[in-house]
Structure 1
């Protein structure tokens, strides 16, 4: 989700024209005489006043209601900003079910966009688990039931050749600077949800190329094509056309954020478009930045360089591939060779440990294959290699057993345990299990939020390795300078900025990630540094001095305050009549 939206909305100026009833056309004098005034104010169109971008709900002042022609369309109550926030919070908390809260927040955004973002910004910790992981995953599984109206663009496999025409239908295309696109094939840890994947992304585009999920074909409320997925060259050319249509419609600098594509397709498109478009894949690169940021945090706590840690990845999907790849780049930047960088990094997947004898190793992780006997059990592998850091990205709930956690704690004073899988039900272990089985010594972080744990009289607060700590800042910095591509270096930069964010006190308490309510601060910090990097490396189209970036972003950030709904007016000095006017008037009188 983006916390900084460089968009503007406003009201058009009011004007007045002669009343239509007083035209110069001849009239039948015997007809009914209209009693309308000679002039009517032509007001701002109602659809603009009450559009989601401009609707202040009960925040319209009395003058605004009268002059905008909406007086009487709402009750007499005029609410302050604080009262509006209180009303929204009261409604939000009135729902006991998280999916109901998600539905309420979605309705709020559809009707009152600025109030929505204001409420989110003020209540990030409360709201983020609802509009993001874990609740958004559950909502996607029943998205057909929750669908209420236009939230994005749906492009189906039958729209080939017409994508630009469809994109031109987007009502606010002049202000569109970034797009989040999914084909719904790998939504969180929930698999192929097809068009229901629209619920995961924000401006959202869903490429509906069908779904292989038979239960969706049979679901009467499913909103997408009940057809098998497009594959092969047809699928690739379909996405190619989409990418080109985006830049033709919105401009070459439009940032395209890929979300929840199947791992092979995600990497294929990432490589295919690397030098052609301003794009990134959040599941690979955003997760990688957050993951490496956490590893650098463990380095801060243990005071042991990353190259000396033994790191084991459980899972070989987008997340594991992305983090291991960026970790390798970090180690290479420290002067290690590829062999040295890969030496202490192990990967385990459904087929067991990734060894050189395996024939089914994805190209991205071949470098990490080890010369060792096959090991099919994660517990056995942990016992053998004694990892100091264990990273889970498998979607298999409970994979990190008591034996695994106790084994790590027996070999390391502060073992690092990352249970990345979303939603919570898919987490490899809970925070309570990590702390309990490590005697409270684990440095634990998860993808979805877990509550604090009381252990031996001490309150332990788990970290959340949330992608909201990376992609908003990466997007913000890139959009600010209108870069036409996103080089790999900015993801390393984001990881280091993220790792520096926790204070020494946080680190001493075992917390390696910021608190979720600090997400806006994190986005600004990363955004500024990313923008500076792009400027200094001649990748920025907008001419800015690096020292100007911070203030420029603040000046152009999305404004959470409505301000006046009326057009601004200004005073002129008194304009006295010309001295000759009186004489001219007398001359005209004589001629009458």
Structure 2
């Protein structure tokens, strides 16, 4: 039921005299009048979705029967934003700020998203990397109420029923799901992984303008291998070892089919922080079956490729002529190398040509043809050369112009490595993708100091600017928030049945072209985080155009102006009136009085 429709028209609170003229209730008959009044339930008025707190006008307070429940002061949206900002900045620790924002999110939805959207630079490191990682470590202690759906291995056969327990089930159009096995670089956090899905979907709204009622975070609680968590009295998940093998794969299959059955075949299913082998297995299985997306693989790949294209813009050296060294063989690198192959093939390079200048290094050393069990498509980049264990020796040997790390090995890019790259290249590219900050392969300060300030440096988490020889150097942030909100918005707008790899190439090129020539001159290959919402819109438009052009969109008819269509349908961050619109009617003719029936005659009575 839409409770707002039962609000009583102001005229109906008045009485009418016998000659149909209105008269105001007097104190004597006030009690009898109120017995006929329809009151808005206070629980609805102050619900997370509709609560304006002290933003309710005096008229709204009286009409909604909440007058007196709030102080007399009426605060504008900006006044309330100022209060929220003052409280947020008064908290000294990041985890404390995270707790405060969780409270705001659960009590003041629209105000919360407006604050996040307008303070992205300040808030993003709290609700996303790096603080969300710390929050997931202690999620049981921070848990304050319903934020998503948990499905355990004991819900097999009933997953549809569990999903349909979600209060806004009729509105759900996107799901972000994790099994918590590989949360950032922190390992298996089990049910605590819900914090990641919540954070991702909040950026759907704050940056992509997608209504929060369309978003459903889901945690698949299949146990955890983390013994410390299982013994933690505050842990909120199953205290059992993780489900594996065929039983685990059947569990995922039932979830996918249940989600499509519960919410429709056009529902976007976003997989997040699954272990690398599982992530690729499910991507290969489901990408062409449904509207499926893996941000760790595909979102990271789009952002990483955008960075490579940015270095191409700065150095004026074609991408295929750069010597690129990838460190790590997990989902991020595997996804990025696969997308890079598609980019180079689109440029007309043959398989042997595109692999010539690309090297991959993992914990065992440089990947060569002598390696066994090489994961995924990385085998295409295995080199016919002697194995090298030391990364420093690899750098000295192949002289990479670009090095990318996604290893969670803090300090992997040593002073010797960085100095070696600076010796061989005027503008070496250095990417330290690992999250959170303390897992980065090198810091911005190290990258600039050991390359004489010439490095084109970007990281997965934010680093502060660095002063070098009187020059202020601002590191780039290769953050997935530049990709997934726009990808998701474009896909949902077009109502795509599937999301092909080419959509991520579109994303990468769109993102790489956003920095201005002035940005490039200062070494910036990514936009400022504060521009993330504008970036999401541009990516959504390009992705949407691609889907329509290639017959992958279900929305009909195609909008004449996609930008206008998206903006018209985006989630509104500003408060509107809480009262339904009313309008005047002319005075209506009174209903005619029924004519009295004549008394029956004796003959008619006898017939009866």
TM-score range, shorter chain: over 0.9
Deviation at 1:410, TM superposition (A): 0.2
* 1:480 alignment partner in structure 2: 493
Match among 120, 144, 150 for residue 146 of structure 2: 150
Matched, 1:537 2:530: no
From the superposition, tell whether residues 315 and 511 of structure 1 become closer, same or farther in structure 2 (CA, over 3 Å). same
Q: Tell me if the contact between 2:77 and 2:575 (Cα under 8 Å) persists in the aligned partners.
A: no
* 1:24 alignment partner in structure 2: none
From the superposition, tell whether residues 228 and 131 of structure 1 become closer, same or farther in structure 2 (CA, over 3 Å). same
Deviation at 1:136, TM superposition (A): 0.3
Match among 180, 191, 195 for residue 191 of structure 2: 195
Deviation at 1:41, TM superposition (A): 2.3
Matched, 1:59 2:55: yes
Cα distance in 2, alignment partners of residues 210 and 342 from structure 1: 40
Cα distance in 1, alignment partners of residues 594 and 300 from structure 2: 83
- Provide structure 2 residue ranges, at least 5 long, that are not aligned to the other structure: 14-28, 199-215, 600-608
From the superposition, tell whether residues 34 and 296 of structure 1 become closer, same or farther in structure 2 (CA, over 3 Å). closer
1:216-239 alpha-carbon deviations (Å, 9 max, x no partner): 011000000010000011000101
With normalisation by structure 1, the TM-score equals 0.92
Cα distance in 1, alignment partners of residues 265 and 292 from structure 2: 11
With normalisation by structure 2, the TM-score equals 0.90
* 1:99 alignment partner in structure 2: 95
Matched, 1:12 2:5: yes
Give the length in aligned residue pairs: 563
Cα distance in 2, alignment partners of residues 43 and 532 from structure 1: 47
* 1:216 alignment partner in structure 2: 229
1:119-172 alpha-carbon deviations (Å, 9 max, x no partner): 001100000000000000000000000000000000001110010000000001
1:490-548 alpha-carbon deviations (Å, 9 max, x no partner): 00000000000111110111000010010000000000111111111111111143642
From the superposition, tell whether residues 544 and 414 of structure 1 become closer, same or farther in structure 2 (CA, over 3 Å). farther
Match among 144, 158, 162 for residue 162 of structure 1: 158
Deviation at 1:577, TM superposition (A): 3.9
Q: Tell me if the contact between 2:334 and 2:376 (Cα under 8 Å) persists in the aligned partners.
A: no
Cα distance in 2, alignment partners of residues 191 and 360 from structure 1: 22
Tell me the SS of whatever aligns to 2:4.
Answer: coil
Q: Tell me if the contact between 2:179 and 2:274 (Cα under 8 Å) persists in the aligned partners.
A: yes
Deviation at 1:12, TM superposition (A): 3.2
1:248-286 alpha-carbon deviations (Å, 9 max, x no partner): 111100001100000000000000102111011000000
* 1:429 alignment partner in structure 2: 442
1:46-98 alpha-carbon deviations (Å, 9 max, x no partner): 22211111111111111111111111222222110110000000110011000
Calculate the aligned-residue CA RMSD, in Å.
Answer: 2.0
* 1:555 alignment partner in structure 2: 568
Matched, 1:518 2:531: yes
Within-5 A mapping of 1:89-488: 89-202=85-198, 203-488=216-501
Cα distance in 2, alignment partners of residues 13 and 585 from structure 1: 30
Cα distance in 2, alignment partners of residues 475 and 357 from structure 1: 40
1:309-362 alpha-carbon deviations (Å, 9 max, x no partner): 000001110111111111111000000011111111100001100000001311
1:345-398 alpha-carbon deviations (Å, 9 max, x no partner): 100001100000001311321101000101000000000000000000000111
Deviates more, 1:422-431 or 1:533-542: 533-542
Q: Tell me if the contact between 1:11 and 1:49 (Cα under 8 Å) persists in the aligned partners.
A: no
Q: Tell me if the contact between 2:559 and 2:565 (Cα under 8 Å) persists in the aligned partners.
A: no
Q: Tell me if the contact between 2:369 and 2:385 (Cα under 8 Å) persists in the aligned partners.
A: yes
Cα distance in 2, alignment partners of residues 84 and 529 from structure 1: 36
Cα distance in 1, alignment partners of residues 575 and 3 from structure 2: 9
Deviation at 1:173, TM superposition (A): 1.2
Matched, 1:575 2:575: no
Cα distance in 2, alignment partners of residues 74 and 336 from structure 1: 68
* 1:25 alignment partner in structure 2: none
Q: Tell me if the contact between 2:459 and 2:475 (Cα under 8 Å) persists in the aligned partners.
A: yes
Within-5 A mapping of 1:501-516: 501-516=514-529
Moved beyond 6 Å, runs of 4+: 16-19, 584-588
Tell me the SS of whatever aligns to 1:346.
Answer: strand
Tell me the SS of whatever aligns to 2:249.
Answer: helix
Cα distance in 2, alignment partners of residues 108 and 461 from structure 1: 32
